[in-house]
Amino acid sequence: MLSVRDLAVEVGGRLTTVGASFTLRPGDKAGLVGRNGAGKTSLLKVIGGEAPAAAGVIGRPPKLGYLTQDPKPRGSGVEATGLSHVLSGRGLDALVLRLEKLRLDMETDPTTRNVDRFGRAHDEFERLEGYAAESEVRAIAAGLGLRSDRLDLPIDALSGGERRRVELARILFAGSDALLLDEPTNHLDIDAKTWLMGFLRGYRGALLVVSHDLELLDSAITRVLHLDEGELIEYRGTYSQYRAARAADEERRGKVGAQQDAEIRRLSTLADSMRGQTEKRARKAKSIDSQVARLETQRVKAVRAERKIRVRLPEPPRSGAVVLDARGLAKSFGTNAVFDDVTFDVGRGERVLVLGLNGAGKTTLLRILTGALASDGGEFRLGHNVSLGYYAQEHETIMRNQTLLAHMGEAAPGVTEQAKRDLLGMYGLSGEMAFQEAGTLSGGEKTKLALAMLTAGRHNLLLLDEPTNNLDPPSRAAVGAALREWKGAMVLVSHDTEFVTELAPQRVLLMPDGDLDHWTDDYLDLVALA
Q: Which amino acid is at 487?
A: K
pLDDT at 162: 84
Task: Evaluate if pTM is beyond 0.75.
Answer: no
State residue 75's pLDDT score: 45
For residue 298, is pLDDT > 80? no
φ/ψ region of 411 (left if φ > 0, alpha if ψ in -120 to 50, else beta) reads alpha
- CATH class in words for 1-63+176-263: alpha beta
SS3 labels along 320-340: CCEEEEEEEEEEEECCEEEEE
Task: Check whether 74 has a pLDDT greater than 60.
Answer: no
* pLDDT tens string 24-34: 999 999 999 88
Q: Where are the domains of the chain?
A: 1-63+176-263, 82-175, 322-529
Whole-number pLDDT of residue 308: 66
CA distance 423 to 452: 6
- The pLDDT > 70 percentage for the chain reads 96
First to last CA, the chain: 37
Whether 505 shows a pLDDT value over 90: the answer reads yes
- CATH 3.40.50.300, domain 322-529, yes or no: yes
Q: What angle do CA 451, 499, 189 make, to 5 degrees?
A: 105
Cα dist from 35 to 64, 137, 219, 240, whole Å: 26, 35, 21, 17
Whole-angstrom Cα distance, residue 223 to residue 300?
23
Say whether 322-529 and 1-63+176-263 share the same fold: yes
Is residue 446 classed exposed, middle or buried when 0-12, 13-18 and 19+ CB atoms within 10 A define those classes?
buried
The pLDDT of residue 131? 83
- Strands 322-333 and 231-236 come out as unpaired
> Average pLDDT, whole number, for the chain?
86
* pLDDT band at 306; cut points 50, 70, 90: low
pLDDT band at 273 (very low <50, low <70, confident <90, very high): confident
